């Protein structure tokens, strides 16, 4: 069946114009992650993926801070990676809210649990099922402040304040760097590709690297 979102007149109230606040939330969550980094034990979720106490603590912080900015669940629906539970009382579906926050508190948990700095905090916003704003932060990559990617309806896409510039790859022969999932080798067959495959832990970061020009494409 096809889900048809109810029409909205647009989210008004400033959430989409408060990227500084969203970045602050991402940085606060990253501080929690860094405090756990290097001494966590991974668990397996029902779907076989990995989770740690840091994932859960970071998600609680992000959800609390987002709710402080917008407490009305009819206006903001939070779709979270860990323990969806009762995050949206009284709202059954994301499409019933004016704005959806898609939260992955720790994208790259397997890398995180292995002691690799290849993980990110990802907070995105969707309106009428379309992405409209977001912040992705890699706290242990890119220097003391990490790499912070952000964009909004009235804010250009940037990394640490500098505009993002994708690679000028126009056809397959120009493609040199492709980001792939860590399990890519289990099922993929690539012929005729002479470039490099990169698995950098976080799909959210892979996407940002395409926008920033570090990767030509991702799987």
* pLDDT value of residue 13: 55
- Percent pLDDT > 90 in the chain is 61
Mean pLDDT of 137-164: 95
Judged by average pLDDT, the poorest of 32-41, 73-82, 152-161, 164-173 is: 164-173
CA–CA gap between residue 61 and residue 12 (Å, rounded): 24
Residue 200's pLDDT is 93
Residue closest to 62 by CA, chosen among 107, 112, 115, 14:
107
Number of neighbouring beta carbons within 10 Å of residue 7: 6
- Answer yes or no: are the C-beta atoms of 160 and 144 closer than 8 Å: no
- pLDDT averaged over the chain? 88
pLDDT of residue 11: 56
Tell me the average pLDDT across 68-73. Answer: 91
Residue 176 has pLDDT above 50, yes or no: yes
**Closest C-alpha among 43, 208, 50, 47 to residue 121:** 208
pLDDT at 7: 43
**Is 51:82 a contact under the CB 8 Å cutoff?**
yes
pTM here is 0.88
Instruction: Quickly state the pLDDT bin for 191 (edges 50, 70, 90).
Output: confident
Is the pLDDT assigned to residue 45 strictly greater than 70? no
Using one digit for the tens of pLDDT, what is the confidence trace for 83-117? 777 888 888 888 889 999 999 999 999 999 999 99
CB distance 213 to 149 below 8 Å: no
């Amino acid at each position: 069946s096809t889900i048809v979102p109810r029409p909205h007149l647009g989210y008004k109230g400033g959430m989409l114009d408060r990227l500084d606040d969203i970045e602050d939330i991402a940085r606060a969550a990253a501080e929690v992650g860094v405090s756990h980094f290097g001494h966590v034990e991974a668990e397996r979720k029902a779907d076989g993926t990995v989770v740690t106490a840091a994932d859960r603590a970071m998600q609680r912080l992000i959800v609390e801070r987002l709710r402080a900015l917008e407490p009305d669940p009819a206006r903001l629906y939070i779709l979270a990676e860990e323990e969806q539970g009762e995050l949206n009382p009284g709202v059954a579906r994301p499409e019933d809210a004016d704005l959806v926050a898609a939260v992955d508190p720790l994208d790259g948990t397997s890398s995180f649990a292995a002691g690799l700095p290849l993980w990110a905090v990802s907070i995105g916003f969707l309106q009428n099922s379309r992405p409209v704003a977001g912040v992705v932060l890699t706290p242990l990559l890119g220097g003391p402040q990490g790499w912070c990617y952000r964009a909004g309806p009235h804010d250009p896409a940037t990394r640490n304040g500098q505009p993002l510039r994708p690679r000028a790859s126009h056809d397959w022969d120009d493609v040199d760097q492709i980001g792939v999932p860590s399990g890519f080798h289990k099922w993929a067959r690539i012929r005729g590709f002479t470039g490099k495959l990169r698995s950098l832990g976080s799909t959210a970061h892979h996407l940002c690297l395409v926008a920033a020009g570090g990767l030509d494409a991702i799987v």
